[in-house]
Amino acid sequence: MAKILVTGGAGYIGSHTCVELLTAGHDVVVIDNLSNSSAASLSRAEQLTQKKLSFIEGDIRDATVLDQLFQEHSIDAVIHFAGLKAVGESQQIPLRYFDNNIGGTICLIRAMQRAGVFKLVFSSSATVYDESNASPLNEDMPTGMPSNNYGYTKLIVEQMLEKLAAADDQWSIALLRYFNPVGAHKSGRIGEDPNGIPNNLMPYLTQVAVGRRQKLSIFGNDYDTPDGTGVRDYIHVVDLANAHLCALNHRLKTQGCRAWNIGTGNGISVKQIRDNFEKVNGVEIPFEYVPRREGDVATSFADNARAIAELGWQPQYGLADMLADSWNWQKQNPNGFNES
Ligand code: NAD
Ligand code: UDP
pLDDT tens digits for 101-146?
A: 999 999 999 999 999 999 999 999 999 999 999 999 999 999 999 9
The pTM (predicted TM-score) of the whole model is: 0.98
Q: Is the CB of 104 under 6 A from ligand 1?
A: yes
Mean of per-residue pLDDT scores for the chain: 97
Flag whether pLDDT at 317 surpasses 90.
yes
Q: Ligand nearest 154 Cα, by number? A: 1
Give the domain ranges of the chain. 3-183+235-263+302-315
State which H helix or E strand residue 79 sits in.
strand 77-80
Is the domain defined by 3-183+235-263+302-315 classed in CATH 3.40.50.720?
yes
279 pLDDT exceeds 90? yes
Q: Which residues are registered as beta bridge partners of 120?
A: 78, 173
Q: Specify the pLDDT at position 286.
A: 98
Predicted confidence band of residue 331 (pLDDT cuts 50, 70, 90):
very high
Evaluate if residue 8 carries a pLDDT over 70.
yes
pLDDT per residue as tens digits for the range 216-270? 999 999 999 999 999 999 999 999 999 999 999 998 888 999 999 999 999 999 9
Does residue 340 register a pLDDT over 60? no
Mean pLDDT of 295-317: 97
Which residues make Cβ contacts (< 8 Å) with residue 189, sequence separation at least 6?
44, 47, 48, 329, 332
Q: Pick the catalytic residue: 97, 129, 150, 234?
A: 150
218 lines ligand 2 (CB under 6 A): yes
pLDDT score for 182: 98
Q: How far is the CA of 227 from the centre of ligand 1 (A)?
A: 32
Q: What is the pLDDT of residue 257?
A: 98
Query: Can you give the pLDDT at residue 253?
Result: 87
Catalytic (active site) residue 289: no
Q: Which residues of 171-205 are buried (b: 16+ CB within 10 A; e: fewer)?
A: bbbbbbbbbbbbbbbeebbbbbbbeeebebbbbbb
Ligand 1 pocket, residue 97 CB under 6 Å: no
270 pocket-lining for ligand 2 (C-beta < 6 Å):
yes
How crowded is residue 52: how many other Cβ atoms within 10 Å of its Cβ? Answer: 10
Instruction: Quickly state the pLDDT bin for 338 (edges 50, 70, 90).
Output: confident
Are 286 and 214 spatial neighbours (Cβ–Cβ below 8 Å)? yes
pLDDT at 310: 97
Q: What per-residue confidence (pLDDT) applies to 107?
A: 98
Please write the tens of the pLDDT for every residue from 48-93: 999 999 999 999 999 999 999 999 999 999 999 999 999 999 999 9
